[in-house]
């Protein structure tokens, strides 16, 4: 909770899909909510529906109890209890204005009032509003689903008290884990303006080049750092009616936009909407499920669904030869084949459109790039992507193709500056179009990245998949960054070597402690299975046993290091990833941490301490006279045997992957900073953990577990092979050969 802006209770006006989910996410931050709607029945149904969404809107489903569904007629006076009132009703200006008049007499005198509108002008929203309420009113535009999408766009009016914006931004970042960008009061603000332009341009270019739906999605998804759903699948998920609404808003209201015609709904798309082929919610859109595992795509000319037929392109092959996204994007954009030509054209259009909107929709390129990364799931914002493909080279090609280059970019290049971002005097900087110079990128003091330390002379040791870095104040950090699978960071020899080296280095240099984390999308998705598989294929059991023993020894060394070790996991924390964090003194986990021991799913059992850590954690969680007693072992067996993965850090605590004194930080960008502070807090008077002992149930407990497995096989819940793996797991958990 922000100390600057104390929000203890929130009123959410509207319990539709967005309103109910915003209410749900507030409960994730332990903030009680009054959820209002026009009738008690609608309010009740809206809140109830939020608890059934997949993926879940809640860290813990029980926190739905923190939401009180209410109606305006009977309960409007209770709005006076709330520090923040957020309106999330349908996009009808007259409805919104009527609601503001209704709540105005009941507002707390210092309450902040915001709207979640996705495109209505704030100037229109405050028309007729009294000055006091208008001074406390601005737009906070969340993206769907609000638990998972990081972006919130803030748009103030000329009457908004500017002093309210910074503390509200801090609250959104710290309490709700959001990334805040500041937008101008223009139609669709930043992310929807550029994102929908990019989608509409892709639709237009696909038709021109006669590319299939599936080919376009193959070119505009994870290959170029966009969500896997790419273009057409994303439209189906969002809803074709919603996409058309946003596009039409730009077409109707952006009358001076030179690219206005791109937002015009093409005839085939309008016909699909008229036919109610709206995508996922109507079971057909650009794609249609024909049978289980059989999905057809639509032909944009005939509007008939046909089997998918993905083509192979040389440009895609060239791109896939590169591990790093920047290299893939560059290779594909300059590839001389239909795939390269398509990607170049839609990329160039999006880049130029973003550059031409600078000053109109946002003051700087940082807000635009962040909006697209946080709101549309792009790995690189437009200007970051432009740097990746080379500003000078791309501008030369654009000029050859008679594309109009924005004046400010021409001036930047003429002044000898060839990138939008650079690093100067230890700071990450961006090109500011007004100052005509590089300025430091603004960031929260709680936002730490290994990347910044590496380029400040703080790199101690660099390996293929991990590095040891000096984080300052006597704290060292291990940064996971797999050279081959940067998205997953599987544990390999490089990571193990770095962990081993770090233990010795911290002790030898008298440092206070160690943090283990990373800058990537996920902390660690487990061990390198290919390495294990290849060893097994060679039947080199001695090497495999040595590998497992090495992992065990290194992680046990971490567990009993003479200094505090804190893990800061996020995203996927699976298998060996859990075994690493489980060996640490404390865990500072991002709220969106998906933790689990999943080895059984590939015919293995945890081998580097996962079983031991679960027994230890559950012994603390399940009160029993003897650590390792059968109820603990049974729970560990169920958790590991069914490869349970927590859908949030909060659920990980409930399952037992995290302990109750481990910390959960909602904002993923703050975990490294918070973990470092934990090391500093623990370092004074630190003592090595005591060795734990467990009396395991032995043969009698093993027989019970094996009986359970037989029952599962008989009922068809698991296969004979699953039972074999389960039997091996039970053997270990109950004491192994000594049991």
Q: What DSSP string describes 12-36?
A: EE--SHHHHHHHHHHHHTT--EEEE
Q: How far apart are CA 260 and CA 84, in angstroms?
A: 37
Give per-residue burial for 171-200: e unless 16+ CB within 10 Å, then b.
bbbbbbbbbbbbbebbbbbbbbbbbbbbbb
Question: In this predicted structure, what is the pLDDT of residue 2?
Answer: 38
Asked if the model's pLDDT at residue 82 lies above 50, the reply is yes
The pTM (predicted TM-score) of the whole model is 0.93
Q: What are the pLDDT digits (tens) for 593-604?
A: 999 999 999 899
Tokens standing for residue 319: 């791109």
pLDDT band of 3, cuts 50, 70, 90: very low
Q: How far apart are CA 686 and CA 692, in angstroms?
A: 18
Question: In this predicted structure, what is the pLDDT of residue 62?
Answer: 94
Asked if the model's pLDDT at residue 626 lies above 70, the reply is no
Tokens standing for residue 48: 């109830």
Q: How far apart are CA 573 and CA 54, in angstroms?
A: 20
Distances (CA, A) of 13 to 16, 22, 72, 385, 517: 9, 10, 9, 38, 39
Mean pLDDT of the 73-93 span: 97
Q: How far apart are CA 156 and CA 136, in angstroms?
A: 9
Please enumerate in sequence order all residues whose Cβ is within 8 A of that of 91, keeping only pairs 6 or more positions apart, or say none.
117, 118, 119, 120, 245
Q: How far apart are CA 82 and CA 112, in angstroms?
A: 9
Question: In this predicted structure, what is the pLDDT of residue 534?
Answer: 86
% of the chain beyond a pLDDT of 90: 88
Asked if the model's pLDDT at residue 544 lies above 90, the reply is no
Q: Which residue has the tokens 């094996």?
A: 706
pLDDT band of 4, cuts 50, 70, 90: low
Q: Which residue has the tokens 């690189």?
A: 380
Question: In this predicted structure, what is the pLDDT of residue 737?
Answer: 79
Q: What are the pLDDT digits (tens) for 407-425?
A: 999 999 999 999 999 999 8
Greater confidence (628 vs 117) lies with: 117
* Spatial strand order in the sheet of 33-37: 67-71, 33-37, 10-13, 84-87, 112-115, 137-142, 151-156, 179-182
Length, in residues, of the chain: 739
Question: In this predicted structure, what is the pLDDT of residue 669?
Answer: 96
The DSSP line for 36-80 is EESSHHHHHHHHHHHTT-SS-S-SSGGGGGGEEEEEHHHHGGGGG
Question: In this predicted structure, what is the pLDDT of residue 598?
Answer: 95
Question: In this predicted structure, what is the pLDDT of residue 606?
Answer: 94
Per the CB < 8 A criterion, the answer to whether 514 and 477 are in contact is yes
Give per-residue burial for 490-511: e unless 16+ CB within 10 Å, then b.
bbbebbbbbbbbbbebbeeeeb
Q: How far apart are CA 340 and CA 39, in angstroms?
A: 54
pLDDT band of 1, cuts 50, 70, 90: very low
Greater confidence (622 vs 125) lies with: 125
Tokens standing for residue 281: 């919610």
Q: How far apart are CA 643 and CA 637, in angstroms?
A: 10
Q: What are the pLDDT digits (tens) for 699-715?
A: 999 999 999 999 999 99
Mean pLDDT of the 199-222 span: 95
Which ranges in the chain are annotated with CATH 1.10.1040.50? 191-432
Mean pLDDT of the 148-169 span: 97
Q: Does domain 450-598+645-683 have CATH number 2.30.110.20?
A: no
* Spatial strand order in the sheet of 565-567: 459-462, 466-470, 475-480, 513-518, 565-567, 586-590, 663-665
Instruction: State the CB neighbour count (10 A cutoff) for residue 376.
Output: 21
Mean pLDDT of the 29-49 span: 97
Mean pLDDT of the 585-592 span: 98
Which ranges in the chain are annotated with CATH 3.40.50.720? 10-182
Asked if the model's pLDDT at residue 628 lies above 70, the reply is no
Question: In this predicted structure, what is the pLDDT of residue 739?
Answer: 63
Q: How far apart are CA 366 and CA 343, in angstroms?
A: 23
* Spatial strand order in the sheet of 427-432: 421-424, 427-432, 437-440
Q: What are the pLDDT digits (tens) for 189-204?
A: 999 999 999 999 999 9
Q: How far apart are CA 43 and CA 69, in angstroms?
A: 5
Which ranges in the chain are annotated with CATH 3.90.226.10? 450-598+645-683
Mean pLDDT of the 129-135 span: 96
CATH superfamily of 10-182: NAD(P)-binding Rossmann-like Domain (3.40.50.720)
Q: What are the pLDDT digits (tens) for 84-103?
A: 999 999 999 999 999 999 99
Bridging pattern class, strands 151-156 and 305-307:
unpaired
The DSSP line for 111-139 is -EEEE--SS--HHHHTTT--HHHHHTEEE
pLDDT band of 622, cuts 50, 70, 90: confident
pLDDT band of 543, cuts 50, 70, 90: confident
Q: Tell which residue, 10, 30, 20, has the closest CA to residue 664.
A: 30
Mean pLDDT of the 155-181 span: 96
Question: In this predicted structure, what is the pLDDT of residue 531?
Answer: 81
Q: Which residue has the tokens 């059968």?
A: 630
Mean pLDDT of the 159-186 span: 96
| Largest Cα–Cα separation, the chain | 80
Q: How far apart are CA 363 and CA 365, in angstroms?
A: 7
Q: What are the pLDDT digits (tens) for 486-534?
A: 889 999 999 999 999 999 999 999 999 999 999 999 999 998 888 888 8
Q: Tell which residue, 675, 682, 670, has the closest CA to residue 471.
A: 675
The dihedrals phi and psi of 61, each to the nearest 5 degrees, come to: -55, -25
* Spatial strand order in the sheet of 287-291: 287-291, 294-298, 305-307
Average pLDDT, the chain: 94
Q: How far apart are CA 221 and CA 228, in angstroms?
A: 5
Is the torsion defined by CA of 647, 650, 656, 661 positive or negative? positive
Q: How far apart are CA 499 and CA 493, in angstroms?
A: 10
SS3 706: helix
The CATH code of domain 191-432 reads: 1.10.1040.50
Q: Tell which residue, 447, 440, 396, 472, has the closest CA to residue 180.
A: 447
DSSP assignment, residue 367? H
Asked if the model's pLDDT at residue 73 lies above 50, the reply is yes
Helix 191-208 / helix 365-376 crossing angle, nearest 10 deg = 70
């Amino acid at each position: 909770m922000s100390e600057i802006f104390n929000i203890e209770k929130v009123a959410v006006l509207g319990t539709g899909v967005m309103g109910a989910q915003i209410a749900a996410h507030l409960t994730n931050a332990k903030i009680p909510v009054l959820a209002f709607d026009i009738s008690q029945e609608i309010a009740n149904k809206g809140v109830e529906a939020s608890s059934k969404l997949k993926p879940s809107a809640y860290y813990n489903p029980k926190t739905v109890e923190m939401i009180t569904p209410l109606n305006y007629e009977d309960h409007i006076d209770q709005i006076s209890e709330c520090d923040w009132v957020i309106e999330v009703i349908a996009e009808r200006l007259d409805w919104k204005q009527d609601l503001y008049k209704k709540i105005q007499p009941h507002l707390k005198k210092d309450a902040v009032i915001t709207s979640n509108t996705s495109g209505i002008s704030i100037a229109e929203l405050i028309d007729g509003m009294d000055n006091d309420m208008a001074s406390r009113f601005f737009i906070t535009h969340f993206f769907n689903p609000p638990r998972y999408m990081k972006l919130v766009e803030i748009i103030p009016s000329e009457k908004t008290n500017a002093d309210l914006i910074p503390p509200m931004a801090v609250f959104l970042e710290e309490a709700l884990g959001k990334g805040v960008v500041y937008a101008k009061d223009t139609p669709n603000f930043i992310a929807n303006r550029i994102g929908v332009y990019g989608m509409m341009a892709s639709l237009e270019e696909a038709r021109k080049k006669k590319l299939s739906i599936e080919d376009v999605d193959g070119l505009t998804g994870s290959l170029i750092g966009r969500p896997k759903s790419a273009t057409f699948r994303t439209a189906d998920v969002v809803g074709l009616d919603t996409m058309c609404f946003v596009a039409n808003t730009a077409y109707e209201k952006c009358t001076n936009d030179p690219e206005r015609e791109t937002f015009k709904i093409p005839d085939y798309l309008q016909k699909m909407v008229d036919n109610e082929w709206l995508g996922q919610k109507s079971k057909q859109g650009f794609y249609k499920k024909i049978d289980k595992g059989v999905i057809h795509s639509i032909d944009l000319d005939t509007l008939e669904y046909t089997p998918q037929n993905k083509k192979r392109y040389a440009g895609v092959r060239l791109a896939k030869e590169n591990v790093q996204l920047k290299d893939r994007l560059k290779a594909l954009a300059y590839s001389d084949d239909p795939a390269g030509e398509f990607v170049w054209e839609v990329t160039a259009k999006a880049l130029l459109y973003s550059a031409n909107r600078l000053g109109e929709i946002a003051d700087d390129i940082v807000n635009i790039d962040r909006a697209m990364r946080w709101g549309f799931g792009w790995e690189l914002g437009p200007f970051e992507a432009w740097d990746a493909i080379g500003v000078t080279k791309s501008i030369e090609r654009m000029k050859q193709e008679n594309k109009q280059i924005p004046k400010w970019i021409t001036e930047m290049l003429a002044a000898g500056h060839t990138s939008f971002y650079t690093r100067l005097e230890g700071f990450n900087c961006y090109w500011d179009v007004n100052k005509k110079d590089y300025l430091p990128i603004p960031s929260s003091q709680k936002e730490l990245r290994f990347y910044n330390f590496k380029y400040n002379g703080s790199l101690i040791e660099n390996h293929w998949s991990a590095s040891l870095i000096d984080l300052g104040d006597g704290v060292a950090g291990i940064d996971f960054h797999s050279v081959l699978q940067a998205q997953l960071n599987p544990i390999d020899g490089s990571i193990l070597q770095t962990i081993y080296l770090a233990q010795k280095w911290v002790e030898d240099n008298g440092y206070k402690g160690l943090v283990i984390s990373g800058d990537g999308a996920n902390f660690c998705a487990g061990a390198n299975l290919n390495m294990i598989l290849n060893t097994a294929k060679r039947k080199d059991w001695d090497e495999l046993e040595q590998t497992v023993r090495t992992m065990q020894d290194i992680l046990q060394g971490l567990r009993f290091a003479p200094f505090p070790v804190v893990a800061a996991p996020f995203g996927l924390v699976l298998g060996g990833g859990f075994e690493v964090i489980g060996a640490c003194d404390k865990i500072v986990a991002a709220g969106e941490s998906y933790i689990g021991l999943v080895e059984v799913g590939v015919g293995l059992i945890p081998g580097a301490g996962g079983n031991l850590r679960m027994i230890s954690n559950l012994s603390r969680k399940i009160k029993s006279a003897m650590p390792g007693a059968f109820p603990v072992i049974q729970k560990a067996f169920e958790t590991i045997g069914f490869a349970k993965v927590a859908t949030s850090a909060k659920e990980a605590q409930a399952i037992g992957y995290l302990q109750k004194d481990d910390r959960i930080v909602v904002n993923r960008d703050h975990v490294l900073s918070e973990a470092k502070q934990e090391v500093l807090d623990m370092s004074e008077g630190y003592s090595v953990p005591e060795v734990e002992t467990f009396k395991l149930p032995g043969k009698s407990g093993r027989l019970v577990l094996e009986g359970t497995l037989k029952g599962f096989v008989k009922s068809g819940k698991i296969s004979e092979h699953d039972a074999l793996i389960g039997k091996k797991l039970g053997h270990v958990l109950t004491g192994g050969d000594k049991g």
